[in-house]
Amino acid sequence: MITATALSNNVGLAVEGIDLSRPLERAVEDQLRTLWLEHGLLLLRGQCRTVAEQIRFSRTFGELEIHPLERIRHKDYPELIELNSADEQTNPTASWDGEDWIGRLGWHTDLIYSGKPNLGAVLRAVILPAHDGQTGYADRGAAYDTLPDSVKEEIADLEVVYRFEVNLYRMPYLDTSGYLAGPGAPDKPSDVGFPDFPDSVYPLVIPHPVSGRKVLNICPMFLSHIRGRPEGGGDPLLQSLVDHVTDQRFSYHHSWKRDDIILWDNWRMMHCAPGIRPGDERLIHRTTII
């Protein structure tokens, strides 16, 4: 029998009673899909032991993406990518508040800059660092629900523009106070083997593509401006929405243990990675649901 317990701040559920070592029954799959869409995040502690189990579990929720960057694909399972802290291109070292960190990433929604965010994703920590290495998740649905009615009215018909950048200093609503780029920090997309993307425009309040649930479509990375209003940062309305969505009452930070697996809804939740310290090591396996 499945039991589900709310994680801190009601951000997602810890689900128990699932055995991923064998195929799930249809009724269990249906139940998990419903919980995923209702709560935005499911954590299964210590339940996923192999790459094949992760892929089978992920397929319960949709088709899986074959990542365009071949070098990070698993050599036997192309629908799974390996995020390795030793890969300096995807895990640059940078200084934050005077200390070096590897692979730190601010709050973001995957692929929001492309105009086609993936529906969800699954992470499994394979090599755990000795310290740090958490993943943070924040519920942009709950952030919308708790806005004052006057703000909901003000933003109801606005559109928001996301712009692809790899240089953090050019993300006007990402807090880069205390940030000092490392020597290998990328400046343009081609520096990390990415194509460029044209701006993407979305409703500021977006109906979830499957559930229809309203989501405050704000995340600090890649956020450029409200359509028709000034670019370059400093829009008081946008800054107040960034401050709201990043308030800690909407977030849960997971400290990984061996064989933990997390599935999240990428349209609703944003996520972040505080990173690890130099000398430490971390390997994450990821599948992407499209």
**Binding residues among 52-111 for Fe ion as defined by CB under 5 A:** 110
> Cα(126)–Cα(141) distance, rounded to whole angstroms?
30
Token readout for 233 is 């940062």
Query: In the complex with Fe ion, which residue's Cβ is closer, 35 or 272?
Result: 272
Query: In the complex with Fe ion, which residue's Cβ is closer, 87 or 110?
Result: 110
Applying CB under 5 A, the site for Fe ion has a residue count of 1
168 neighbors 228 (Cβ within 8 angstroms): no
Q: What are phi and psi of 134, to 5 degrees?
A: -70, 170
Tokens 């649930």 — which residue?
213
Q: Does 274 bind Fe ion (CB under 5 A)?
A: no
Query: In the complex with Fe ion, which residue's Cβ is closer, 155 or 286?
Result: 286
**Percent of residues in the chain assigned helix, strand, coil, to nearest 5:** 20, 30, 50
- Min CB(105)–Fe ion separation in Å: 6
Instruction: Provide the mask over 130-169, with x wherever binding to Fe ion is found by CB under 5 A and - wherever it is not.
Output: ----------------------------------------
Query: In the complex with Fe ion, which residue's Cβ is closer, 110 or 159?
Result: 110
- Min CB(218)–Fe ion separation in Å: 16
Query: In the complex with Fe ion, which residue's Cβ is closer, 18 or 36?
Result: 36
Query: In the complex with Fe ion, which residue's Cβ is closer, 29 or 110?
Result: 110
Task: Find, among 45, 41, 48, 35, the residue nearest to 9 by Cα.
Answer: 41
> Cα(162)–Cα(11) distance, rounded to whole angstroms?
25
- Min CB(110)–Fe ion separation in Å: 5
CA distances from 267 to 109, 110, 116, 127, 264 (A): 7, 9, 10, 27, 9
Q: Which residues 6+ apart lie within 8 Å of 190 measured at CB?
A: 196
- Min CB(24)–Fe ion separation in Å: 26
Instruction: Provide the mask over 110-129, with x wherever binding to Fe ion is found by CB under 5 A and - wherever it is not.
Output: x-------------------
Residues in contact with Fe ion by the rule CB under 5 A: 110
